Chain A
Amino acid sequence: MIHAAYLMPLLPLAGFVVLAAFGRRLGDPWAGWLGTATVAGSFVVACVVYAGLLAKAAPARSFTQDLFTWIPVGGLQVHAALLIDPLSMTMALFVAGVSSLIHLYSIGYMKGDSDYPKFFLYLNLFVASMLVLVLGNNLLFTFVGWEGVGVCSYWLISFWFGRDSAASAGKKAFLYNRLADVGFLIAVFLVFSKTGTLNYTGIFAHLSLIGGGTGTAICLLLFVAAVGKSAQLPLFPWLADAMEGPTPVSALIHAATMVTAGVYLMCRISPVLTQHHVAQLVVASVGAATAFVAATIGCAQQDIKKVLAYSTVSQLGYMFLAVGTGAYEAAIFLMVAHAFFKALLFLGAGSVIHGLHDEQDLKAMGNLRRYMKLTFFTFGIGTLAIAGIPPLSGFFAKGEILDNAYARYPALWAIGLVTAALTAYYMTRLVSLAFYGDDRWRHGPGGGAGAGDGDGHGGGAEPHESPWVMAFPLVVLAVLAFFGGLLHLPWHSSWNPLSWLGPVFGAGQYEAHQSTGTQWALGIVDSVVALVGLGVAFSLWSRRADRPALEPAVLERAYFLDDIYDAVIARPGQAFARFCATVVEVKVIDGAVNGVGRLTRVAGGGLRRVQTGYVRQYALGIVLGTVVLLAWMLSRAVS
């Protein structure tokens, strides 16, 4: 059963190939159904492999499937091989599962788009890359998926490349990711130079060879890569701009693929990471700081998808906090729970946007609960889950992270707790603005012209509920987001499916041994904080939509981070480019080329006087040349 594992990445890849060849002929909606079927097939295979893995004894649940030798160069033997173990299977399960729901949803959402087949083409390649990323058994094969995810995100974010903002958002995502990938590559070189292998199992067998300084460097360099991919502090602005893509893409990038890759990578190298406490502290601090900063930004966003984007950044910060604490199981737990509720929230937001004919401004929504009951209900569940209201999945996932942080880094725990309140606040603000209050969409968008109002439906058209292909994933995800907490209940091992990850992390897993009383106390604190945030936001925003005092520009514009990058990096870069164009290009390069031309012309002008046309002069030249040659030879012969 386990030997079918290679089908997991292969099925979406085959879908990609078929769509590339026949996508246009299949058209709308068959191209979508084909894409969905391959990813769903991949999910079925993942379930089968998972069952096969569960049937084995706990220590034997690690299995390498060698596909072919990829790079045979001397001492460097890199195989294209899959590592099937509890960690990679957990990832593969939720990646394939959530992706197939998003594919299904896209069939409805993208209906009528002129590039319909191309969308599923990219989507399939995206999922295939992500599965390669999580299943690869060595750093380089993982890197293939890592880059594949990067390039697909570029294509998908700038899918509507006719819009300037979409095109530049895609570029931005690509550049931020490439910048961070440099860290990945250098880390790979370091690992190879120290251990001589790139296999995860091989690396972990030679842990003693990775010394203190180098080990910390490897961890931090991989963390740099993860910071880019998972949009942590200072490289997160691309994720907010990634909202320019179609909403299913946002859901895919945020929930199932791409951004979780960084967390996965850090968990994958956990045996190395746990040995280096400085690196752990850096990871945890960056995570906590990002969680807090992104949450504050989320409180002041106007665009429904931007709020969700920053909440993703914030939740990823929690995951890195957990990774840095050593609570890898908790990180994976939140990742899975987050995949459920964030996919739900994005698809719900997409449903709202779809229902309001491409309106994304929160201030131009309002009172939608009367018109989109199913969306409101499912979105509400997602909100309660992410806010951490018991007994939904987010409460348990976040609680576990905070418990561990409380035991190991109390200061970071405090930041995390404040962030939890902020999370409840901004999510409730979003729900209040979108689903409560007046029917603001009747009077047209609040801030003047509607942003995405391309098809002529102004505010005033009656919002409508979405078709079943869009509603069905919402319901499935709502159920998962509600009951996802059951995956990892803290107080009994038999109710704890995620504890099967234990052998992967082994002794590196940090265990906060807290008394039941402490756990209850922390849980109650978490819930109270979340409820306070929720209540405050609801009372503030459910009746009034404009409170400028609570949306300072510094938060709305994300601490001016984009402007700072613009001033510090982009503008000097442009100035340098202009200098190259006007000075280096004109003076140096053109000068060299023209100089060669002028030299040839001058030399030719001088030499052409020699060519007189008189035969006797040529003859004289020949004679003189002969005489000189003879004289030279004679002088040599004599001496």
Chain B
Amino acid sequence: MSLGGAWYLGLAAVVFSIGALGLLVRRNVLVMFMCVELMLNAANLTFVTFSRMLNDIGGQALVFFTLVVAAAEVVVGLGIVVAIFRRRRNATADDFHIMRG
């Protein structure tokens, strides 16, 4: 049996919302980072779904770009997170508000 496209879209929306909510409410930098990944992948899922529904390979091609960019972003982001952990034991995002205007 195959599920309709609406299910995939719904799943993507749910995953995206979880990611967005997590980003807003959690303080741990690593967890926030994971939430961003959730949102990215939700978006990827939407792309693939629409690509199948509309018979357009462009959407799936775009997902590859998104994955590559996300991988690069992870490398940079994790590097920063590791550097932060070296300086202090815990990593709460709110501790880093020295950039306040």
Chain A residues with a Cβ under 8 A of chain B: 607-616, 619-620, 623
Contacts and interface: CB of A to CB of B under 8 A. Distances in A.
B40 interface: no
A610 B32 CA distance: 22
B98 A613 contact: yes
B99 A619 contact: no
Given A613-B99, A614-B97, A615-B94, 11 more contacts: A608-B101, A610-B101, A611-B100, A612-B97, A612-B100, A613-B101, A614-B93, A615-B32, A616-B24, A619-B24, A623-B24
28 contacts: A607-B101, A608-B101, A609-B101, A611-B99, A611-B100, A611-B101, A612-B97, A612-B100, A612-B101, A613-B96, A613-B97, A613-B98, A613-B99, A613-B100, A613-B101, A614-B93, A614-B94, A614-B97, A615-B32, A615-B93, A615-B94, A615-B96, A616-B23, A616-B24, A616-B93, A616-B94, A619-B20, A619-B24
Nearest to B35: A619
**A-side binding surface: helix, strand, loop or mixed?**
helix
Nearest to B26: A616
A610 B94 CA distance: 16
B93 to A, nearest CB: 5
Contacts of B32: 615
Contacts of A616: 23-25, 93-94
A609 B101 CA distance: 6
Nearest to A605: B101
Contact of A619 (B23, B94, B101): B23
A607 B98 CA distance: 17
A581 to B, nearest CB: 40
Nearest to B98: A613
Contact of A623 (B20, B96, B98): B20
A620 B32 CA distance: 13
Contacts of B99: 611, 613
Nearest to A623: B20
A515 B24 CA distance: 119
Nearest to B93: A615
Interface in B24-55: 24-25, 32
A609 to B, nearest CB: 7
Contacts of B97: 612-614
Interface string B70-98: 00000000000000000000000110111
A239 to B, nearest CB: 70
A426 to B, nearest CB: 84
Contacts of B101: 607-613
A611 B100 CA distance: 6
A613 B23 CA distance: 15
A612 B23 CA distance: 17
A613 B99 CA distance: 5
Contacts of A614: 93-94, 97
Contacts of A613: 96-101
Contacts of A612: 97, 100-101
A615 B24 CA distance: 9
A607 to B, nearest CB: 8
Contacts of A615: 32, 93-94, 96
B90 to A, nearest CB: 15
B100 to A, nearest CB: 3
A5 B4 CA distance: 102
Contacts of A623: 20, 24
A20 B82 CA distance: 74
Contacts of B20: 619, 623
A608 B93 CA distance: 20
Contacts of A610: 101
Contact of A620 (B24, B94, B96): B24
Contacts of A609: 101
A620 B93 CA distance: 14
A103 B32 CA distance: 93
Nearest to A607: B101
A613 B95 CA distance: 9
The 6 nearest A-B residue pairs measured at CB: A613-B97, A611-B101, A613-B100, A608-B101, A613-B99, A615-B93
Contacts of B100: 611-613
A612 B32 CA distance: 18
B19 to A, nearest CB: 11
A436 to B, nearest CB: 92
Nearest to A611: B101
A522 to B, nearest CB: 97
A614 B98 CA distance: 9
B87 to A, nearest CB: 17
Contacts of B94: 614-616
Nearest to B99: A613
A488 B100 CA distance: 97
Contacts of A619: 20, 23-24
A70 to B, nearest CB: 63
B13 to A, nearest CB: 12
A396 B94 CA distance: 108
Contacts of A611: 99-101
Contacts of B24: 616, 619-620, 623
Nearest to B94: A614
